Amino acid sequence: MCGRFALTASPEEVRALLQYLDLPNFPPRYNIAPTQPIAIVRQGPGGRRFALVRWGLVPGWVKDPASFSLLINARSETAGEKPAFRAAMRHRRCLVPASGFYEWKKMEGGRKQPFWIRPRDGGLVAFAGLWEEWSDPDSGDIETGAILTTSAAGRIAEIHDRMPVVIGKEDFADWLDVLNVGHREAAELLKPAPEDLFEAIPVSTRVNSARDDDPGLQEEVQPVSSGGEKDGGGDRKRSGRTKAAKTDGQLDLF
């Protein structure tokens, strides 16, 4: 799945790729975690618009978000039919700009090695996303989002069997056009990335902690081994009162 990612490009670089109308200013983020704000781009009146939403989608029909399992990922193969994502696939599709993402590989001895997975040629990618709005008469409206995933390709499949869906620049318009492009047609864009798009490098287990957010997280290190020093192992369970439901992976936090 996709439980951590980064957006380290400048606001100008992100806007140049995604061509939205707004002029937001935001800092580089090296370790974006669930429940934190994530940047999305969606179609709005007159053009594309930039927005920040909470990572962890909450459908509008949920009565109490505090008791609802976080939906940070949506399986692309079933998102059009799942009750939690069905409406968003039809009416609220978005793009999530990213410089890359992190994934954890189970190593010999049970330890987990984090990998920083980035475009081989540098630059940015845009993940396929969904967003929702949850309304509360007391606290107001909350906008939330999820990243769509697909089967991993190439080297990434050796690390994990899932990865974010990458939407090519030539398909941005169709993915965002919820008025004229139906969910079935849009679903045809949800496919594994080209095998040579990404490269994966082992990085420090400091990325396990959402408190760490600095360029050093993306520096290459020697992979952990079964005989190496204890380093925290890369387990990625979020603390808090929201517990992940036991599912087919659709609702998994990581």
2 part of the active site? yes
Among 94, 103, 132, 143, the active-site one is 103
220 part of the active site? no
3-state SS record for the chain: CCCEEEECCCHHHHHHHHCECCCCCCCCEEEECCCCEEEEEEEECCEEEEEEEEECECCCCCCCHHHCCCECEEECCCCCCCCCCHHHHHHCEEEEEECEEEEEEECHHHCEEEEEEEECCCCCEEEEEEEEEEEECCCEEEEEEEEEEEECCCCHHHHCCEEECECCHHHHHHHHCCCCCCHHHHHCCCCCCCCCCEEEEEECHHHHCCCCCCHHHHCECCCCCCCCCCCCCCCCCCCCCCCCCCCCCCCCCC
**Identity of residue 1:** M
Among 2, 94, 132, 143, the active-site one is 2
List active site positions: 2, 103
